[in-house]
Chains A and B, each alone.
Chain A
Amino acid sequence: MSWSATLPLLVLASSLLPGLVIFFLPEERVATRTILNLSGAVLKLVLVGVMIRGVYHGYHYETSLALLPGLDLVLRADPLSLLFVVLSSVLWLVTTVYAIGYLEGSPNRSRFFGFFSLCVTATIGVALAGNLITFLLFYELLTLATYPLIVHRGTEEARRAGRTYLFYTVGGGALLLIGTVWLYAIANTLEFTARGFLSGLDDTCHPALVIIFVLLIAGLGVKAALIPLHGWLPQAMIAPAPVSALLHAVAVVKAGAFGIMRVIHDVYGIQFAAGLGVLLPLAVVAAATIIYGSMRALFQDDLKRRLAFSTVSQVSYIVLGTAVAGPVATIGGLIHLVHQGVMKITLFFCAGNLAETLGIHKISEMNGVGQRMPWTMAAFTIGAFGMIGVPPLAGFVSKWYLGLGALDAGQEWVVYVLAGSGLLNAAYFLPILYAAWFKPPAASWPSESSSGRCETAWTLLVPPMVTAVLTLGMGLLASAPFSLLEWARFITSLEYAP
């Protein structure tokens, strides 16, 4: 097997193998587990770096394994898949460090980190999938790997959230399967192709293609938390903070949004999908989700629940950017895939720090917490301002390209949706910042735990600081050479090449 065929498998194996070993490690082998976790994450990052360099210079990395007659399991590195792979790999490393600190001393850590690694393996598989059937396999594996993480605490509430999660995602997976099989029956291929593979089909197939589109988007929309399929996400916030970070920023919702991108870009093709008339309704659903999610977030006192509804809203920016057919909006959608991940993981890390260190779970308990935990709240402030779209943070760059793309595509209404959402984002994030920085602190915190000289353990403090700096850096250096924005432009130029 050549290097170009081995590399995608190695990237996958760098999290799968440590994960499998960790399952069989006794609980007390903390050091071995930590080394396995971190070395796997660092190795993956190095391999992904090699892959990016190769793809940038025109190398082709593809692994193909026979699955069924006429259907192969294909792993392929293309510019779009690498965008998601980079996001997952970087944030996996950061989340692993955080999870090590967060779960220190708690039971069932081997089980947790085993499934944690499996979850990232499935995400990388989703990103590298070269056809719809490979995508489907890893997408379902992701469902199964995430469930034990959601119910990790073992409480009745966690089990209930897990059941809801399974109900929604297995249902969504079934719709995705039906759509995939039907599509294969019509097109006789499921290979992801630049600008899609359906435009050559006969006009008589178009009604069926519209129905298949609805099935695929509904299946993917469950994980992407499009309304009315978003119900599982706010309930799943019962999971530990690293899992919430994984669900909201790295893996699950991103897999859904990324899948929608894949279907529109590489199955239907943007031009063909626009011709079928399926993109405008999708844009409307995404816009409605953006507003609805923000409005629900406004009335939550539970911090993680507010952040969960914020995710419902923010992930739909990615879908909106894809559905507004135009190169500039596509850039906006692509960069928001990464930006939202980095900003949201910052917020969840901070929420986890507040809960672990001071026992704060509700916004009404956050008065003056900025004085007690200034670094955590500084990171939270950057994340929140990023979500509002305040320049020069990452969220501003996303909104800029989404808005510009909407005007470019002649869909001015999207700009008003962005404005409304920005207003609502400010309405539900700024009161938190005001309470944390400007209100006098409470006499005592709900349950304060000692953390030495620092405001909290360094394993909990460093990850949000790193992601906050990334949030600032991705906005400030948006136009720098080799920036994420440049990569998104590169992907878009391939999609819209004449």
Chain B
Amino acid sequence: MNTSPGLLLLILTPLLPLLLAFPALHSRIFRPCHAALVPPLLLLTLPAGTTVELPWLLLGSGLAIHDQTDRLLLAMSVLLWGAAALFLHTTGKKEVDHRLTTCFMLALSGNMGMILATGMADFFAFSVLTGYAFYGLLVAGRDTEEIRRAARIYLVCLILADLALFEALLIAAATTGSLEFGAVHHVLARSSSIDLYLSMVLAGFALKAALWPLHFWLPPAFRSARPGVAILLGGVPVAVGLLTAMRWLPLGEVTRPDLALLVQGMGIAAMLYASVAGVVRAQPKTVTAYVVVAATGLFTFVLGTGLADPAAWSRHEKWVYILVVFLGIGPALLVVTGRWLEDHRHASCTIDNLPDTRLERCFRAALYWGTRTGTDTLPRLRAACLARASRLWQPRSWHRFLDGSERFLQRWAVAITLFLLLGVAVVFFSMSS
């Protein structure tokens, strides 16, 4: 259902933030970050099915709001970006605020464009814009070693992901002769290039969505990011990865049990690791990072299920979109709550000043009793075993273990990435043979 206001709103949704990215423009407008959200907000009031074709743009483009799922994603994005805009300008420095606003606008334009894009090339262009602008959001005005390091890792992951997706894009175009999502899925699912295509898209997804064990930039980024950026951090990179997987993978049309198993395994591992790590972290900011990693793991598991059982995917696809929405909003809520809690606590905890839990105090008493008993009546071995077992119940032991594993992941980041790529290659070659 194409109406002139509908077409205008479709075009303005990614275009207005792009224009407002210029400091000369956004500095003259009251609350520019919220003003940029007006077109998508109005777009939500229009009926689904509005489409605009732009065949002269890039490799032939189009924008559309097809159905309720698109509206749902758009609504989630408006909510997320609107909340982030409230907390964005906290520096008090005009130049830094200008830079933050510019990066915010560019990332917003990319995010909106991704939801509305009808073709793979436009989607790719918008996702690249979001990715680079988000890097700018991370580092703008925050010149600490920790954030620089996190942003650097994020950038490397982003570039590698974009290269993988570019390769997938080429395969799709060379195989199907089209860049429209629907046509590509249908033809690719029956072609011999499908395995390489799937491998590339999944690699791009894992790198973009900070899937375990490539998540190690996320906790330090959460720790150092500004409140507004932290809200986006919980939703945007993950949403970009999830949306990429949802739109690019021919789920429901292709069955790959081996690959599905690998993907499900990665998802479960991510959930387990993040759950354990998140439970023992005392800092609210870092906990959110692990919630994001666990949520990504959950979604990865769902993706794997989709690859194993296309029929089930087709039946429950809408629920997956709703899951994506909650995965986007949930971490943002956590960030806001975490910041509020922190503001009211006035102090952050570290490993060594963690307060004792009741459980810990009970076990310390048991240990004392056991050791005393062991010294007096029981063999020393029993006391040592008791002491060791009691240490397992101490949160700070787990804390140290997880910090150690985090450091290991960071130190061996390149090797792990190569190992994962090798895994993808092995799966690909074993399936092709």
Question: Which residues of A approach B to under 8 Å, CB–CB?
Answer: 371, 385, 389-392, 396-397, 399-400, 403-404, 407-408, 415, 419, 422-423, 426, 430, 434, 437-440, 475-481
Contact = CB atoms under 8 A, between A and B. Distances in A.
A371 B95 contact: yes
Contacts of A404: 170, 173-174
Interface in B123-156: 124-125, 128, 132, 136, 139-140, 143, 155
Contacts of A426: 159
A434 B142 CA distance: 13
A397 B60 CA distance: 12
Nearest to B175: A407
Contacts of A430: 155
Select the residue from B99, B155, B166, B173 with max chain A CB neighbours within 10 A.
B166
A183 to B, nearest CB: 36
B56 A423 contact: no
Interface string B93-119: 001000100000000000000000000
8 contacts: A391-B121, A423-B159, A476-B57, A477-B56, A479-B55, A479-B56, A479-B58, A481-B56
Contacts of A479: 55-60
A391 B129 CA distance: 8
Contacts of B121: 391, 400
Contact of A407 (B160, B166, B174): B174
Contacts of B155: 430
Given A391-B124, A404-B170, A438 B56 contact: no
A394 to B, nearest CB: 11
A8 B167 CA distance: 43
A476 B171 CA distance: 22
B163 interface: yes
A400 B174 CA distance: 11
A400 B166 CA distance: 9
A390 B132 contact: yes
A392 B14 CA distance: 14
A479 B125 CA distance: 15
Contact of B99 (A392, A408, A437, A478): A437
Contact of A439 (B56, B143, B166, B171): B143
Nearest to A407: B174
Measured as residues with beta carbon below 8 angstroms from the partner, the interface class of chain B is 20 to 34
B56 A440 contact: no
Select the residue from B160, B163, B171 with max chain A CB neighbours within 10 A.
B163
Nearest to B121: A391
Contact of B59 (A371, A423, A438, A478): A478
A188 B171 CA distance: 45
Top-8 shortest CB links A-B: A391-B125, A480-B56, A407-B174, A403-B170, A392-B58, A419-B163, A438-B139, A392-B125
B98 to A, nearest CB: 10
A400 B59 contact: yes
Contacts of B173: 404
Contact of B170 (A415, A437, A475, A476): A415
Given A407-B174, A479-B56, 6 more contacts: A385-B132, A391-B124, A404-B170, A404-B173, A407-B171, A479-B60
A49 B233 CA distance: 51
A399 B124 CA distance: 14
A413 to B, nearest CB: 12
A296 B103 CA distance: 31
A371 B121 CA distance: 33
A415 B172 CA distance: 14
A477 B57 contact: yes
Given A390-B128, A422-B163, A437 B59 contact: no
Contacts of B60: 479
Contact of A434 (B57, B139, B163): B139
Nearest to B59: A479
Contacts of B174: 404, 407-408
A55 to B, nearest CB: 23
A180 B173 CA distance: 41
B167 A415 contact: yes
Select the residue from A371, A391, A479, A480 with max chain B CB neighbours within 10 A.
A391
B343 to A, nearest CB: 27
A480 to B, nearest CB: 4
Contacts of A391: 58, 121, 124-125, 128
Contact of B136 (A396, A437, A475): A437
Contact of A403 (B55, B95, B160, B166): B166
B11 to A, nearest CB: 14
Nearest to B173: A404
Nearest to B56: A480
Nearest to B164: A419
B86 to A, nearest CB: 24
Contacts of B128: 390-391
Contacts of B95: 371
A419 B56 contact: no
B165 to A, nearest CB: 11
B139 A419 contact: no
A165 to B, nearest CB: 35
Contacts of B124: 391
Interface in B46-75: 55-60
A143 B99 CA distance: 46
A407 B56 contact: no
Nearest to A422: B163
Given A407-B171, A419-B166, A438 B57 contact: no
B125 A438 contact: no
Contact of A475 (B56, B58, B166): B58
A479 B179 CA distance: 14
B97 to A, nearest CB: 13
A390 B131 CA distance: 11
A433 B167 CA distance: 25
A422 B166 CA distance: 11
A477 B60 CA distance: 9
Interface in B31-57: 55-57
A494 to B, nearest CB: 22
A480 B57 CA distance: 7
Contacts of A475: 58
A423 B58 contact: no
A404 B174 CA distance: 6
A404 B175 CA distance: 10
Contact of A419 (B59, B136, B167): B167
Contacts of B140: 438
A58 B60 CA distance: 28
A333 B171 CA distance: 20
Nearest to A401: B59
A463 B194 CA distance: 46
A475 B56 CA distance: 11
A409 B124 CA distance: 24
Nearest to A389: B166
A390 B132 CA distance: 10
Interface string B162-205: 01001100110110000000000000000000000000000000
A447 to B, nearest CB: 24
A354 B60 CA distance: 37
